[in-house]
Structure 1
């Protein structure tokens, strides 16, 4: 089922890290250098520079650096899929590396992965780091006066397909690079196998540069997972890089680990659930981060001071460090141990065994997974004064309320069984609640939908986005949601007043609540209604997909039985996209027709509106960075030419119209007309409506009703 792959794509964001070094360490630092497998002592600041806001950058960079006295070398780290993966997915590892005394510059940019094969792709970043970064950190970020960026001692590397950026750089100029670090390296320029046309490594041929190199791989990299893909196929990774190097090269295989295990914990847990990149849940992940840090720190320190720190190379040739078993290899390529080695360009050498290998999979869906987290939501304009009518007349624009975002995490509260992200207006009023369940049955983190959730909340609603890492089957049980509802109805308002400083006249109107979700999150909402109406006034389904498993043959649980009506009556708005059921280049539809669309519409017993945005796709309601990622990969079919900002406005307007009409069906009955029109905000739709016996413009409450077959 395609819902899965959406979710999977998130997990698969694989990127890696580099190292931090204590340059010119004082005598009292020697104890830490002896054990490079623990976090360093430097306090770390994170500064984000965005291409769109800078005159000097062609990429985005995230800088993790020690705000301390010292001359700190630079590590350029290119994220996965050729630098497309946002750096924020790797905060834990970046921070730990930087804590050892390095200016870690994580480089990424939304765009075609082919662009990063051009060495010029990184040129503006290097110029910015060498000429402007230090002043920027002093002047804008308040770094101490004796902090200095030692760009003359730089390292370059990346994770997964981000490594081809590093290799491409070294193929044209050594610049100030002292060493190369490859983690789970994968070669190739395109996620679609038949479109792969560019490589940086030719098997049987040496590269045209000599530089100390550390290559770290995982034992599960080349293993084909349950979806028929290997995240780092052996013919495009592993020894492909090791055999091509000219300088001293260390090869470290962490045999029990997988391609995604170096990510931040939330992504590791997501991948363990999905097993998109094969993974052993029993292999300890914090220790793996320590291990990676230690290996990289050892490599960098030894390269920078091969005489004084030569013993640190031993850490790259041992198994069992920090309890991590490895297979180790080393090729000196003519290097005398414990002697300095500089980067130099050398002629390429050819072998009679040169050949072209057909690309099988690359880690396409890794990167893709980020893109496809699809979720949706609704909003309501609560009882308003006459002077607010101008906004109500046009529900397709952002509201006027200032919005706060508050995150409540299950692990940090005694009262929640789920995580919730609350987007709410810090203003005077009684604001109704919208419970929004994220994709894949509530597994997708809510932060992927900040733009839409905020825009909806700006119309005057307490948007409660609900998600929790765990089996998607658990969310079929209505009890999965009980603690969330109890928290919202009994504790949320006090919490926002006392901990978040909301004004005294802000109130949570939980007696007027709505529930819905996106994609596989929709089954949570339906399951709630099957047992209790509670205070719900209406149901909103966005790209709804039924089923409990990402693997079609494993689906054993549904909330809708085709040919049978549900056992509740409630006003319902269902929004789908025309590209939902279209099979993409990977053989999957993100919302197969038999599990979505009319399956839900035909089962409802209350007044139900059906809105098909014919030109849009399953992932087009996400935040812009994810929409762009999906447009590049086309995992969920999407038309890049259709305007996405207008689509967010359209969704907001449709949902606001529905909620207002439901809450005040007499005075605001005309709002229902918006659910039956095409061309609003320039969005063409196919619309359907069934009254199921409801008299238009009359009040309707949720009631439980006996389920029955449509055809006896």
Structure 2
């Protein structure tokens, strides 16, 4: 059996990474529309990046939602790490440009989840089968807020929720300046989702990059506030010396990619934080989805050396 420490390293599976284009709306003849409708059923409502194990088998599905104004491929190394431990990770591109209101991306994420049962199998390699008895939802930054919104029923989905993981979630620019719809209510146990919750935070996210830019995960609307409101079962892990975008790929290209380094305070090399976030996700999913608590127990008891220093290890049991 693998040691607990292996959760922070790539797992035993090789992985594939595939882009899946969204369904296209076309004007055509009645006969052609039949073919187009059939094709649309197999094509997702949003472009996807899908990481999956290469070994034949059936695997649980995790939907990972990108951060504000980010590209889904900024997380390719993270989702491949998770996939290497036996999960299919679906990462939609919810939008290219967006304003403060998150309603449309909540609805888009729900549409992607509803599509999984009809179309995901056709986009996977032969022998790779998704287990869609339930789906886990994760997200980074504003994507973490969207994950909570889905868990709270702001948009209905056809698949039950297995687990919810928010990576440095953000609910606006500060207390009193939440983006609609607000998630935080500033009341104990206000966040009650029908699944266990993990909140991963960063120690540097609440600090400004410099005098010109505000914090990327402001105090009062970030990870600690989310965890404080989560009903049990829930847990909270905080990487002390890393920042809001440090779990992304080593190289993030283009203007948006440059912004992930220029706007947010960083702990330096991204690999340790990425390994920690991916490993923590896997440990949590292994317990609550696969019924294997050993890795999460080791993280909780700190009997395994995490690749980052943790300033908070909190668990709220049922």
Q: What is the TM-score with the length of structure 2 in the denominator?
A: 0.81
C-alpha separation between the residues in 1 aligned to 2:301 and 2:312? 6
Describe the shift of the 1:682–1:445 C-alpha distance in structure 2 as closer, same or farther (beyond 3 A): closer
C-alpha separation between the residues in 1 aligned to 2:295 and 2:251? 35
Q: Could you tell me how far 1:688 is from its partner in structure 2?
A: 3.5
Secondary structure of 2:40's counterpart equals coil
Secondary structure of 1:624's counterpart equals coil
Q: Could you tell me how far 1:669 is from its partner in structure 2?
A: 4.6
Q: Is 1:660 equivalent to 2:281 in the alignment?
A: no
Which of the residues 136, 139, 143 maps onto 1:521? 143
- Corresponding residue for 1:457? 83
Query: Which whole-Å deviations, capped at 9, do the CAs of 1:563-598 have from their partners, x for residues lacking one?
Result: 151242421111111001002212300100111122
Q: Is 1:595 equivalent to 2:221 in the alignment?
A: yes
On the 8 A contact 1:433/1:462 being kept in 2, the answer is yes
On the 8 A contact 1:650/1:680 being kept in 2, the answer is no
Which of 1 and 2 has higher RCO (CA within 8 Å, sep 6+)? 2
Q: Which runs of 5+ in 1 are unaligned?
A: 1-388, 497-501, 695-712
Secondary structure of 2:241's counterpart equals coil
On the 8 A contact 2:52/2:83 being kept in 1, the answer is yes
Query: Which whole-Å deviations, capped at 9, do the CAs of 1:468-488 have from their partners, x for residues lacking one?
Result: 225352546753333312221
On the 8 A contact 2:52/2:89 being kept in 1, the answer is yes
Aligned residues: 291
Matches within 5 A, 1:490-501: 490-496=118-124
Q: Is 1:538 equivalent to 2:155 in the alignment?
A: no
Query: Which whole-Å deviations, capped at 9, do the CAs of 1:581-628 have from their partners, x for residues lacking one?
Result: 002212300100111122110111121111111011111111112499
C-alpha separation between the residues in 2 aligned to 1:465 and 1:507? 17
Describe the shift of the 1:457–1:632 C-alpha distance in structure 2 as closer, same or farther (beyond 3 A): closer
C-alpha separation between the residues in 2 aligned to 1:512 and 1:391? 27
Describe the shift of the 1:593–1:608 C-alpha distance in structure 2 as closer, same or farther (beyond 3 A): same
Matches within 5 A, 1:328-343: none
Describe the shift of the 1:651–1:599 C-alpha distance in structure 2 as closer, same or farther (beyond 3 A): same
C-alpha separation between the residues in 2 aligned to 1:674 and 1:465? 26
Describe the shift of the 1:392–1:427 C-alpha distance in structure 2 as closer, same or farther (beyond 3 A): farther
Matches within 5 A, 1:560-575: 560-564=184-188, 565-575=190-200
C-alpha separation between the residues in 2 aligned to 1:520 and 1:631? 14
Q: Which runs of 5+ in 2 are unaligned?
A: 25-38
Query: Which whole-Å deviations, capped at 9, do the CAs of 1:421-475 have from their partners, x for residues lacking one?
Result: 11112321111100001012xx522111211121221111110002222535254
Structural RMSD (CA)? 2.9
On the 8 A contact 2:141/2:217 being kept in 1, the answer is yes
C-alpha separation between the residues in 2 aligned to 1:579 and 1:403? 31
Which of the residues 266, 275, 291 maps onto 1:638? 266
On the 8 A contact 2:75/2:248 being kept in 1, the answer is yes
- Corresponding residue for 2:311? 686
Query: Which whole-Å deviations, capped at 9, do the CAs of 1:304-348 have from their partners, x for residues lacking one?
Result: xxxxxxxxxxxxxxxxxxxxxxxxxxxxxxxxxxxxxxxxxxxxx
On the 8 A contact 2:22/2:46 being kept in 1, the answer is yes
Describe the shift of the 1:394–1:555 C-alpha distance in structure 2 as closer, same or farther (beyond 3 A): closer
Q: Is 1:428 equivalent to 2:56 in the alignment?
A: yes
Q: Is 1:584 equivalent to 2:209 in the alignment?
A: yes
